Amino acid sequence: MVNYKCASCGTKLDMDLEVLGLTCRVCGEKIFYKIRPSTKKTVISN
């Protein structure tokens, strides 16, 4: 399961990766943002 957030109304959806043609159940929007945990990453450069 992957968590998505609707770009228009902000509704959170849990969808399978095999589902094609995602649409928001509330507003019908087709643009989603993948919800990612807010973690701090440390990068070391030379």
- Which pLDDT belongs to residue 46? 81
Between CA 11 and CA 27 the distance in angstroms is 9
Q: Which domain holds residue 22?
A: 2-34
Instruction: State how many domains the chain has.
Output: 1
- Which pLDDT belongs to residue 20? 76
In a domain, 23, yes or no: yes
pLDDT for 5-44, tens place per residue?
A: 999 999 998 887 777 778 888 999 999 899 888 888 889 9
Entry pTM: 0.66
What's the 3-state SS for 5-45?
Answer: EECCCCCEEEECCCCCCCCCCCCCCCCEEECCCCCCCCCCC
The amino acid occupying position 40 is: K
| 6 in a known ligand binding site | no
In a domain, 41, yes or no: no
